[in-house]
Structures are given as structure tokens and as C-alpha cells.
Amino acid sequence: MRTVKDLHSLALTGPVGNRLVEVVAGCLCLLLLCVTAPVLWWKRRLGEPPAAGTGDRRVVAGLMLGLGALFPLTGLSMAVALVGEWVLGRLRSVRS
């Protein structure tokens, strides 16, 4: 069990291995963003996607609440984004 804990905490790899894992993980995340961004852009270019159903909205809301509870700073940033979207929506409705 100790070996598993040391491997999970990167104690077996040392500081160089720890940095290497971080760099590789960062590169993989950046690569994923570079691949998914054009795909999402292309889908959006073909037309506006249909609105999400009630079930989909509930799933997304549940995931956001769970992540917000697990990672409070993530929850705070999601709350700020939600309030910003709400304020912009209200401003747009007042102008029209």
C-alpha cells in the first residue's frame, strides 16, 4: 500500500519526474483544447444548435453544483460567470 501511495503522490519519481508529469499533463490538455475548439467552431458554423432539454440542463446543473462543492474556487468562478450572464441578459432585454 505504501508503494501505491508513493507512486500516486509522485514520491518515487522525485522532483524531476514530478515536473515531467506536470508538463506532459499540461501539454495533453492544451492538445485536447486545440483539437476540440475547431470541431466546436465548425459545428456552430453549420447553424445554431438546438436548445438543451430539461433533463440535460439538470445534469449540467448537478455537475456544476458537485464541482463547486468539491472545488470551492471553481464554484466561485462559475457563480461569477452565471451572475455576469444574468446581468448581460437583463441589460439586453432592457435595451430591446
pTM, rounded to two decimals: 0.47
Q: What is the dihedral of CA 37, 41, 43, 44, to 10 degrees?
A: 140
pLDDT at 50: 79
**11-37 as b/e: b if 16+ CB within 10 A:** eeeeeeeeeeeeeeeeeeeeeeeeeee
pLDDT at 33: 94
Residue 10 has pLDDT above 90, yes or no: no
| Amino acid found at 66 | G
